Amino acid sequence: MGRRVVEIAAIVVSDEPSDTIVTYALGSCIAVIVHDPVKLAAGMIHYMLPLSSISPEKAKLKPAMFADTGVPILFHKLYDLGCKKENLIVKVAGGGQIGEDQVGFEIGKRNYTVLRRMLWKSNVLVSAEDVGGCKSRTVSVEVGSGRCVVKTPQGEETL
């Protein structure tokens, strides 16, 4: 059984059913978790910022840093493993923010808004999510079962 860690601004996909994909401490970053129960494959991106337009050079080097450049790559990597779009189950976690009333600090919210718009445009439904609020989350998904767990300092729950 392998534990595959997703760093910040990275993507991990796997079709090894005994793998668990995990990312630590999301903060205002967002994890998109995708599972294919037919192919028994899963993937996760941990992106940090909404739009690559602030630094096209960085987006070239590390496309998974941004929602707009990273999320399509996650899906394509899964298609490369043989996953079918109609079978994919998509979950979202993260997008927290510091202090409820910090106006200039809505990166978490913007991360989420941009993602929803992208998924909506490509007809992808989100089956479950745990986003927003003043919490930092650690998320894992079991490739075989698709069981997705969100942990915070207050406890853990299955998404």
Partner 1 sequence: MIAPSEIEARIARVKALPVAVIEMRRALSDPKSSLVTFERILSRDPGLCANALRVANSAAFGLSRRVVDLGQAVSLLGVARLEELVMSAGLSTVLPERLEGYATTSAGFLEHSLVVAMLSRRLAERNEPRQASSAYVAGLLHDIGKLVISGFLRDEPEVARSLESGAGLCFVDAERQAFGSDHAEIGSAIAARWKLPELIVDAIRGHHHPALVELEAHRAVARFVHVANGLAHMVGVGADVGGMHRRIEDEVLAQVGLSGHQRELFLADSVDALNELRQQVHSSAGAGK
Contact residues for partner 1, defined by CB under 8 A:
3, 5, 7-10, 22, 24-29, 48-49, 54-55, 58, 62, 65, 94, 96-105, 107-108, 133-138, 152-154
Quote the least distance from Cβ 90 to partner 1, whole Å: 21
Phi, psi of 69 (to 5 degrees): -95, -25
Q: Which is nearer to partner 1, 96 or 144 (CB)?
A: 96
* 146 vs 48: CA distance, rounded Å: 24
CB of 55 to partner 1, least distance (A): 6
Q: Which is nearer to partner 1, 127 or 152 (CB)?
A: 152
Three-state DSSP state, 138: strand
For partner 1, the closer of residues 79 and 105 by Cβ is: 105
Residue for token pair 């090894």? 16
Residue 127 or 136: the one with the smaller Cβ distance to partner 1 is 136
Pick 59 or 83: Cβ nearer partner 1 = 59
Phi, psi of 118 (to 5 degrees): -65, -45
Phi and psi angles of residue 158, each rounded to the nearest 5 degrees, phi first: -85, 130
In the complex, minimum distance from the CB of residue 36 to partner 1, in angstroms, rounded to a whole number? 26
The number of residues making up the chain comes to 159
| Cβ partners under 8 Å of residue 103, min gap 6 | none
Query: Residue 96 is which amino acid?
Result: G
**Shortest Cβ 124–partner 1 spacing (Å):** 25
CB of 108 to partner 1, least distance (A): 8
